[in-house]
Structure 1
Amino acid sequence: KGTGGGRGQRPSVATTTTMDVRVAPFEQARGGSIPPNARRASLSCCARLRLVACALPTFAACAITCAAIALPVPVCKAADASDTDAPVAGCIADVRVLGEPGTLVWADEFASAEPDGRPNASHWRYETGDTGWGNDELQFYTDRAENAAVADGELTITARCEAYGPRDFTSARLTTAGTFSWASDHRLDVRAWLPTGVGAWPTIRMLPTESAYGAWPLSGEIGVVELVGCDPELALAAAVTEELNAAARTRVTNSSELQPGWHNFSLVWREDSLQWFFDEQWVLEHRKRDGDGPSRWPFDRRFHLVMSVAVDGARGGYCIDEPPSCSDPAELGRPQRLRVDYVRVSTRRDGCAPPRAAAEDTQPRQAPAVCEEWAGALRVTTFAQRAGPRAAKVAAEAIAAFWRLVRVADRSLSARAALGTGAAIGALVAVIACACACGAWPSRTVA
């Protein structure tokens, strides 16, 4: 079954930092009311210099904060898994990490093949037929080398225009069902080149080996990656369950822009979460919530891998009214090939399970945990998760600088003018701090 549905949005973690700031009225800030004869209509040269001098510490604080945020951040790693909910001082909570894989438990590097060139039968099985596969697909899946072959260290699955039985297109659908399946606490890595012809629908997905909770989608589906030629630069990751299915348009999905070429697709499967990475960039996460049952979290069973290139169907041809053209090279006028360099399944060794604590907790509970630098890619989903207490400090500095400006300016300006000047500078500082800290960082990766 396909992982249809609309294009999703990058998930984000909503975090809010609330500051309770109490300030004295203007007159109290300077120690009393302002004598009318002490107010002037304009700033003197010395007063201007004092205003600039008071603003400098705030801008310096902003610059230092931006520089600090740009540095690698230590990852929170709990020494005791039962304490992963407790934040650790100095660590940033809820990070997305793709570290080095653990022990390799299954792999196909496509260094060998069957005598006729087909993929190794000890690793792969064929699913054949022209049933439409629940998506109105137009191809006939065969078990021929013309549609799935290994050569030069690569597996190639090819969809092509040719009459075969009642169909005008052929392709292949390979699966590890019957040869290998796995459950949580593992990581999948696939290096592949996806075809982009209009009408082509390459997918790499995982399906339940036993439908313990019922037929699709009740027992779940994990879309490792899929791409449709109608939108060839967007690769989709998805989780499908009874509650999160294509028909209800409530799937957990996210798209990521990809240029044609080789890409690495990784899935980290924990007991209570699924995390997708494209080229080591975190793109999607689906978590098990307290109380979730099989209707939302059927991912407590073994799954196997399925790779295919479908033609047309619910997603593959949504942008065309007729079957793909067999003469137009932008469609199926040339064979559409899914090339796979390797498939690897390893034990999970990614540094830590993400703590669920709020990043803005500036006085976290102490827990038996340690912070460590991780050699992999560190991905942070939101500004609040990365900056957290630092951003609050910048805001506090801006407020303090504002009142320093008030105290200086009230010797030269009216109360209204002094407050206006301070407010303008404070707003500018806030904008700069936000630009420095937020900017493009929701998608930034640091080593």
Structure 2
Amino acid sequence: MKIYLVGGAVRDNLLKLPIKDRDYMVVGTTPEQMLDQGYKQVGKDFPVFLHPKTQQEYALARTERKTEPGYNGFSCNADPDVTLEEDLLRRDLTINAIAQDDTGTLFDPYGGVADINNKQLRHVSGTFIEDPLRVLRVARFAARFHVLGFTVADDTLALMTQISHSGELQALTPERIFLELDKALATDSPHIFIEVLRQCQALEILFPEINALFGIPQPEKWHPEIDTGIHTLMVLEQAAKLSNDNSVRFAALLHDVGKALSPKDSLPKHHGHGQTGLAVIKAFCARIKVPNDYRDLALLVCDQHQNIHNINELRPETLMKIFDKADLWRKPHRLEQLITACEADSKGRLGFEHDIYPQAQYVKEVFNAANSVAVKPIIEAGFLGAEIKQQLRLERIKVITKFKNEFKNLV
């Protein structure tokens, strides 16, 4: 029996990145022998075991044969005669197909070290096309390692395009699609994930609402980049710089989806696109089972980003409606999320990337002023029941009016 460290731990060590998880591959043994040594089996589809002390995963070396569509349609062979090279051959990318023994010796039969040095994301073999999930995984790796200079190899991108044309992407479950999107949003360069999916023609299949934005013009005065799809990528890039909150990044990705539905005879203008986009976001989130907190913030940003940009022009009553709609009185954390997504929208334009966004501070100040109104004096003044809520609203509007009069030139 031989044990090798494999996958991401070896790759990340070579890249001098922190190692999160350590996975091991075991060659030349059987499930029975693993159990006899105290390992606990956890894998259902193929033999994976937990070490009796460290609880780290140890998987028997295996080969796979595709038996049906989708990423679960494989039969596995984990016999003791499966070799290290055979196991590594089934992996997706060469940088993930490097093994290391307990002496530190690397086993790299498919050129993973060279591809790390050349900053290439390259498939291990032609069987790459058998697993449609690899389209999303490679796009995610491209987003994660973009900051290090990695790009997808042309021949790998060609295979990803082949998968897109095969119909196999439709076999992916909604939950897995969202999981890969969520992981990509957590990278330093989530916009690259969308870009790579578009390059291999998977975006139109997996996220047609986003794909539809490319080629849609915007007024050049406000959007020198013109193309709404390009703007969306730029906004997502800015959101990743401004916040580590994935729900903010998700909202940035979807904030302009309504522009794809603007009447052609009104282009490049997009009147009411924020409200048009709400139904699109609801359908998008329902289809891939997006968590409610992501969905609700995306709807809020889509609906209100134009108002936040023009915050100084709004009447006190309108500001109250925004605060009420966002439910900021009970969920004040949403304010930071909302204005961060709006700031990303403002900076996600060609030539505006480094501009300040004074609206952010203005909204915080005006909300804090309104939120400082106490309920106790209203109750003590004799108001009852629904009157309390109505009077609280009036008092808050008074405070907002006073704030706006004092800070007319803040934005």
Query: TM-score, structure 1 length as denominator?
Result: 0.26
Higher helix proportion: 2
Q: Name the structure, 1 or 2, with higher relative contact order (CA <8 Å, separation 6+).
A: 1
Larger radius of gyration: 1
Q: Select the structure that is richer in strand.
A: 1
